[in-house]
Amino acid sequence: MSWSFQQLLAPLSALLLLMSACGDDPEVRPVCGNGVVEAGETCDDGNRNNDDTCDNSCRRPTTDDAGTGEEDGGIVEDDAGTGEDDAGTGEDDAGTTEDAGTTEDAGTTEDAGTGEDAGTGEDDAGTTEDAGTGEDDAGTAEDGGSGEDDAGTDLDGGPGPDLDAGTDAGTGEDDAGTDAGTGEDDAGTDAGTGEDDAGTDAGTGEDDAGTDAGTGEDDAGTDAGTGEDDAGTDAGTVQVALDSFGPTGTFARSGTTGATFPEALTVRLREDAPAEVWVEVASSSAVLNVQGGLVRIAPGERSATVQVTADLAADPETDKATLTATLGNDTREATVRVLAVDQAAELSTLSPEVISVSAGQTQGFTVELDVPPAQDTVIQLALEPASLGTVPATVTVTANSLSAKFDFTAGSEGGEGQLVAALNGSSIAAAVQVSGGGSSTGHIVISEVAPQGPGGAGDEFIELYNPTSSPVDLSGWKVQYKSATGTAGYTGNYSLPDGSIIAARGYFLVGAGAYSGTGATGRDVSWGTSFAMGAGGGHVRIGYPELLGSDPIDSVLVVDTVGYGSTANQPEGNRIPGSAPAAGSFERKASATSTVESMVDGADALLGNGHDSNDNAADFIIRPTRQPQNTSSAAEP
């Protein structure tokens, strides 16, 4: 630009400035080259020469930043946390008289405003490494501690892609608060993170909604080392939940505070409590409440007993309350009945209600009251008849309990009767059936077998006995015979005719066609010549209508089997040894202790034939004279 033109522009610019002072005049655009730095200009040297320090757009030319490998925006702003102009501005830069924001030169004695690096303990500019980084420092290949924006300014000290909104120490991106070595925006205080922080972020990589300590996701409170959202205080634990609240149906006594009975009401978690846990417990009635409405579960524990206070006077309309336990979204309920201080207990049940045992066997019983008594309560026990066995004279239900247990031991004699429990003039009973000892006899048995008789080899019979308390319809049942050593199954087969009924504790007599008994000892039905038994040994059995001769001894269709004689090969257990005399028979015992003498004319003679231990040798005696009984005979016992 020539000098004469410059002289012409000066008065013209002054005139334009005077005109711009008037508020009503239109805005005047800046004029480059008038020697006046106006809005939008960074310099105006009075000419429009493009080869000097102010180009023809009135902006300073872009030059490299002090000691960096990037261009400097020429912005007149403070550099690395100092109060001086930045390199590439109007002050001397790195390697000259003064450094960016200091009074010493980068590469001389001291760096940007200090004797050490910007906020670090490492050597500084002009020495080995950058300000807090692992790169070369100002005056070497890169800028003061970075290759991008500089630290601690409102705007960067030199060119680069990002501005810094706070304090930036060796970072490459914007910082929205305090950024310590991060690469992204920080919405609070960011310590070594790479993303936005909504609070204080300590080494995290994502947004934080409170205080985040080493987490990787949003935090709704305080997050300590977790990876999930936190709703309050998160200590690296899982959320606890209710598992159970019970048992239901317990009791409390009016005027008392304590645990329920006979079992304590308990609140239980699914896992051990990571810290102190409080479970809310609400009551449906004023007759019962939990102090403060809360139950505490201690750290490391999984359950706690609920302490309740009972007061019937608080709600005369009811004696029950439903308690509801709540933890988070989990709820559980349990009912509690409140008893009067002196409420009397009554008999409720005696179980089992019916038993059938063999002589000498033991059966447990439980007697239960309707409510737990306030004091120990004695219950009277008795057997009717006493010959059924033995029980203790009394049993005691302790205070705040519901039941008591005791044992009944069957006697040696069979029979039926009842066990009676009595309290305050009321009683309950259980039916008792005692067979003549041994194993269960709840089925029809073969009670006597005569393979021959006074009338000869064909004078045979098979006697059946019903040890149960109910009649049994034998219509269609099978009576079968097999030889002692036969292997082809049961070859003799006879089906009982329709209407064949055997009474409870009664007998049923099946005889051969040549059977000689008559009258009181006459047969009920005849098998005719369907089979003939061997006097020295053989097998007889009875079974359901579907039973086939080829079915094995352990078939479910077989009801009872007897093998007699020294050569019988398929008895129940062991065969009956020896042979019966011609006028005699094989008879089942009444009890395990029965003998020939007791069965013939002794204590067991009229006690039936109910002993069945599934061992023929143990269950039978050999009678010297036979004693057939039929449907007209008296029931035994």
pLDDT tens-digit profile of 489-518? 999 999 999 999 999 999 999 999 999 999
Measuring CA to CA, which residue among 440, 424, 441, 549 is closest to residue 494? 549
pLDDT band at 100 (very low <50, low <70, confident <90, very high): very low
**pLDDT per residue as tens digits for the range 291-347:** 999 999 999 999 999 999 999 999 999 999 999 999 999 999 999 999 999 999 999
Q: How confident is the model at residue 239 (pLDDT cuts 50, 70, 90)?
A: confident
> Tell me: the pLDDT tens digits for 242-301?
999 999 999 999 999 999 999 999 999 999 999 999 999 999 999 999 999 999 999 999
Confidence of residue 16 (pLDDT cuts 50, 70, 90): low
Residue with more model confidence, 74 or 304:
304
**Strands lying side by side in the sheet with 303-305:** 242-246, 266-269, 303-305
C-alpha span between 405 and 273 (Å, rounded): 38
Residue 7: pLDDT band by 50, 70, 90 thresholds?
A: low
Query: Which among 614, 463, 471 is positioned nearest to 540, based on CA atoms?
Result: 463
Residue among 61, 182, 178, 156 nearest 101 (CA)? 156
Between 40 and 205, whose confidence is greater? Answer: 40
Partners of 282 in beta bridges: 324
- In this predicted structure, the answer to whether residue 218 has a pLDDT above a threshold of 80 is no
Is residue 568 within 8 A of residue 590, CB to CB? The reply is no
Between the two ends of the chain, the Cα-to-Cα distance in Å is: 146
pLDDT of residue 436: 55
pLDDT of res. 118: 38
Give me the mean pLDDT over the 78-94 stretch. 39
How far apart, in whole angstroms, are the C-alpha atoms of residue 6 and residue 198? Answer: 57
Tokens of 378: 């004695």
Q: Which pLDDT score, from 0 to 100, does residue 40 have?
A: 77
Q: What is the pLDDT of residue 232?
A: 37
* β-bridge partners, 558: 543
- C-alpha distances in Å from residue 310, one per residue of 281, 285, 306, 307, 339: 15, 10, 13, 10, 9
Give the Å distances, CA to CA, from 217 to 187, 199, 201, 238, 239: 15, 13, 11, 16, 18
- Amino acid 32: pLDDT: 81
Q: Are 166 and 155 in contact (CB under 8 A)?
A: no
Number of Cβ within 10 Å of residue 247's Cβ equals 14
pTM of model > 0.75: no
pLDDT of residue 257: 97
Per-residue pLDDT at 540 exceeds 90: yes
Higher pLDDT: 206 or 433? It is: 433
pLDDT of residue 27: 53
Identify each DSSP E strand in 276-390 by its residue range: 277-283, 288-290, 294-297, 303-305, 308-310, 320-327, 330-339, 347-351, 354-358, 362-369, 377-384, 389-390
Q: What percent of the chain has pLDDT over 90?
A: 56
Instruction: Return d(Cα 52, Cα 61) in angstroms, integer.
Output: 9
User: Once rounded to an integer, what is the mean pLDDT over residues 393-415?
Assistant: 92
Summarize the confidence of residues 344-366 as an average pLDDT: 93
Cβ contact 256:343 at 8 Å: no
What pLDDT is attached to residue 164? 38
What is the pLDDT averaged over residues 614-622? Answer: 95
For residue 434, the model assigns a pLDDT of 84
Tokens of 617: 């040798």
- 569: pLDDT strictly greater than 80: yes
Given a contact cutoff of 8 angstroms between Cβ atoms, the answer to whether 332 and 316 are in contact is no
Q: What is the predicted pLDDT for the residue at 56?
A: 79
Is residue 65 predicted with pLDDT exceeding 50? no
- The region that residue 95 occupies, defined by phi over 0 for left and psi between -120 and 50 for alpha, beta otherwise, is left
Give the β-pairing of 199-202 and 501-502. unpaired
The stretch 385-412 carries a mean pLDDT of: 94
Cα dihedral 620, 621, 624, 626 in deg (nearest 10)? -30
Domains and CATH numbers, the chain: 242-339 (2.60.40.2030), 347-435 (2.60.40.10), 445-623 (2.60.40.1260)
Backbone angles phi, psi at 547, to 5 degrees: -65, 130
Helix (H) or strand (E) segment spanning residue 597: helix 596-601
- The pLDDT mean for the chain works out to 76
- Of residues 360 and 152, more confidence is placed in 360
Q: Please choose, from the candidates 406, 405, 465, the residue with its C-alpha nearest in 3D space to the C-alpha of residue 435.
A: 465
